């Protein structure tokens, strides 16, 4: 059995942890080890899954996850749409070393290919000003610095063209701590000239072949008038899209442009009215949800013969679109755990039936909620939510961009805690969260799918022939999408809930004696919050504590198993609630 902590780690912990804290950790570890012995966490083949008593509930055969695959069978294409794009706060934050270091980590281990952020034309990027006669002066040096560093890491920009630079903004400081100028440009001709100069500059600096691989998205959430399009309207946005798309295509027809980047899905109006008219309580799960502006946008573009290379929107599985002081937070309707998958299916149907059936679908922001202080984001449950949602939405869209990869993020942060419920996969101290590991595990999957069921998937790498699998336990009795939590205690209560499931894996036609890494993420292994709480929640941790937390956040449980003499791998284990396991062929 792999040790949870090395002797060196215990020595370091003892420097700054109280004696009773260490003793508490030791007691917890001993209880955990004892529970493994009692519950029979065994490696090898098993027969019929038996009922196993856990600390809080019961595991039975009805909830077991069974994965059985032939390593030589024909597979189906498996596209890693979940790692195509990832989000970040704003462009200026990308000029910081911590942001860049965390981007490198996210790209290396989670496989992200593009990053999208707000504010490329914000005044803190010093892109645009005017002389005394109103003539534009462009300066792209900050953008060059940012893009150069991103591209050097193998990560491309998914360009969000926003917001109005100061001289073109009719309204200033519409949202966020950093004073975004979220209002439509006062002069669409000057806006078009800025876009043209910017895109041409990118082509000259990076080459046409490179920039043709980028995406240019027009604005961000223009349907949220108060925050991002103050003084605007749907009509004004459509005109802005027209001007911008035509400008980009004048630079090169093969450059990719799309929108409308609207926020969230809303309940279908007619269905909601019908349910309310009945005068009886109704189940929100039975009401379909619709994306905002998508049908109108596609109709407008078709009527005006405009290009649409991709369609974008933001399917947060909550009934509020933004968490900002003074803004409403919906009516408290809870959404199903399958709501994101259902939203993606809706998008797929809309695009397939539209005049643009070949348009790509990019969900350019997504998370369990749009709140930057939702403690669920830091939790173990967030990792399982990510795995379940993405792996059960395969084949529907081109990207589902997690918002965000980093807690270097300055929108509406109103707490100083190092774990404040920020969107990031990595916190400000460069401590990876469980959500980071979910993407890391999925990144280990191959490009061919051999078998999938609710709770797991088996894949193969077409180049090496090696097999990998991921299984996850989003407790089957939990029917809702991951809820918003406002305190660490509330988030912990979710992580401490739910039933375990039996996980049974059978792989055949492998080389005899082939080794497999079995890596588990659970509350005792790889959960930064558990380690931080064991330290007494230092705010902020000192240098030694920070170094230790970084190490413990990577401390997933790892074991190596081998195939039998006939080339079979037969594993059985208990998968605790909210845990994820990766099985990866090593040779």
Q: Which residues are catalytic?
A: 221, 365
> What tokens appear for 527 in the block?
């959960």
| Dist. CA 71–CA 73, nearest whole Å | 6
| Dist. CA 380–CA 527, nearest whole Å | 6
Sign of the C-alpha dihedral computed for residues 241, 242, 246 and 247 taken in this order? negative
| Dist. CA 113–CA 151, nearest whole Å | 10
If one counts every other C-beta atom within 10 angstroms of the C-beta of residue 285, the result is 14
Per DSSP, 400 falls in state E
> What tokens appear for 542 in the block?
């000192």
DSSP secondary structure string for all residues of 427-492: -TTSPBPHHHHHHHHHHTS-SEEEEEETTEEEEE-TTT--EEEEEE---TT--BPPPP-SSHHHHH
Bond into 239 cis (ω within 30): no
| Dist. CA 203–CA 197, nearest whole Å | 10
Return the bridge partners of 559, or none: 518
Residues in CB range of 218: below 8 A, 6 or more apart: 161, 240, 241, 244, 245, 257, 258, 259, 260, 261
Per DSSP, 422 falls in state -
**Whole-number CA gyration radius for the chain:** 25
- Look at strands 156-161 and 114-118 and give their pairing: parallel
Contact criterion met (CB below 8 Å) for 425 and 406: yes
| Dist. CA 419–CA 429, nearest whole Å | 10
Q: Is 194 helix (H, G, I), strand (E, B) or coil?
A: helix
If one counts every other C-beta atom within 10 angstroms of the C-beta of residue 222, the result is 28
**Separation in Å, CA 271 to CA 178, 278, 333, 354:** 39, 11, 15, 22
| Dist. CA 183–CA 495, nearest whole Å | 41
- Look at strands 360-366 and 399-402 and give their pairing: parallel
Q: How far is CA 375 from the centre of its chain?
A: 15
35, 37, 39, 40 alpha-carbon torsion, rounded to 10°: 150
């Amino acid at each position: 059995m792999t040790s949870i902590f090395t002797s060196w780690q215990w020595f370091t912990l003892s420097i700054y942890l109280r004696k009773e804290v260490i003793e508490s950790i030791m007691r917890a570890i001993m209880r955990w080890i004892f529970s493994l012995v009692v519950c029979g966490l065994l490696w090898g083949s098993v027969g019929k899954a038996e009922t196993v008593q856990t600390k809080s509930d019961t595991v039975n055969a009805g909830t077991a996850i069974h994965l059985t695959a032939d390593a030589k069978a024909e597979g189906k294409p498996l596209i890693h749409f979940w790692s195509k794009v990832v989000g970040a706060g704003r462009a200026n934050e990308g000029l910081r070393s911590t942001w860049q270091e965390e981007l490198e980590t996210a790209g290396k281990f989670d496989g992200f290919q593009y990053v999208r952020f707000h504010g490329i034309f914000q005044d803190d990027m010093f892109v645009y000003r005017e002389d005394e006669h109103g003539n534009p002066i462009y300066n792209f040096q900050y953008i060059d610095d940012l893009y150069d560093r991103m591209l050097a890491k193998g990560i491309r920009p998914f360009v969000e063209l926003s917001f109005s630079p100061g001289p073109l903004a009719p309204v200033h400081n519409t949202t966020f701590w950093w004073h975004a100028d979220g209002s439509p440009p006062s002069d669409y001709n000057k806006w078009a000239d800025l876009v043209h100069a910017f895109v041409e500059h990118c082509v000259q600096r990076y080459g046409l072949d490179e920039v043709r691989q980028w995406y240019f998205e027009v604005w961000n959430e223009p349907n949220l008038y108060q925050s991002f399009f103050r003084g605007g309207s749907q009509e004004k946005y459509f005109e802005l899209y027209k001007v911008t798309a035509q400008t980009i295509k004048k630079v090169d027809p093969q450059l990719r442009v799309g929108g409308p980047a609207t926020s969230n899905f809303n309940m279908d109006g007619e269905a909601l009215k019908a349910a309310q008219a009945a005068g009886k309580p109704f189940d929100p799960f039975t009401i379909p949800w619709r994306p905002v502006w998508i049908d109108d946008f596609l109709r407008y573009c078709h009527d005006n013969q405009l290009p649409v290379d991709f369609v974008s929107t933001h399917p947060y599985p909550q009934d509020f679109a933004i968490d900002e002081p003074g803004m409403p937070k919906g009516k408290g309707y809870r959404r199903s755990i399958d709501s994101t998958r259902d939203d993606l299916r809706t998008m797929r149907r809309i695009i397939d039936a539209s005049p643009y059936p070949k348009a790509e679908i990019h969900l350019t922001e997504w998370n369990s909620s749009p709140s930057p202080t939702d403690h669920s984001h830091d939790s173990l449950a967030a990792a399982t939510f990510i795995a379940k949602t993405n792996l059960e939405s395969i084949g529907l869209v081109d990207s589902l961009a997690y918002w965000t990869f980093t807690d270097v993020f300055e929108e509406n942060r109103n707490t100083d805690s190092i774990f404040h419920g920020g969107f990031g996969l990595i916190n400000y101290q460069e401590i990876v969260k469980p959500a980071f590991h979910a993407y890391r595990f999925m990144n280990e999957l191959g490009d061919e799918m051999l078998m999938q069921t609710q709770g797991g998937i088996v894949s193969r790498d077409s180049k090496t022939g090696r097999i990998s699998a991921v299984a996850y336990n989003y407790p089957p009795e939990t029917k809702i999408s991951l809820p918003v939590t406002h305190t660490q205690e509330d988030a912990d209560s979710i992580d401490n809930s739910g039933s375990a499931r039996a996980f049974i894996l059978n792989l055949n036609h492998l080389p005899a004696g082939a080794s497999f890494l079995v890596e588990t993420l659970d509350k005792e292994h790889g959960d930064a919050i558990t380690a931080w709480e064991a330290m007494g929640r230092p705010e902020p941790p000192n240098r030694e504590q920070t170094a230790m937390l970084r190490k413990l956040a990577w401390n997933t449980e790892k074991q190596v198993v081998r195939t039998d003499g006939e080339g079979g791998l037969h594993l059985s284990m208990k998968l605790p609630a909210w845990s994820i396991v990766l099985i990866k062929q090593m040779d």
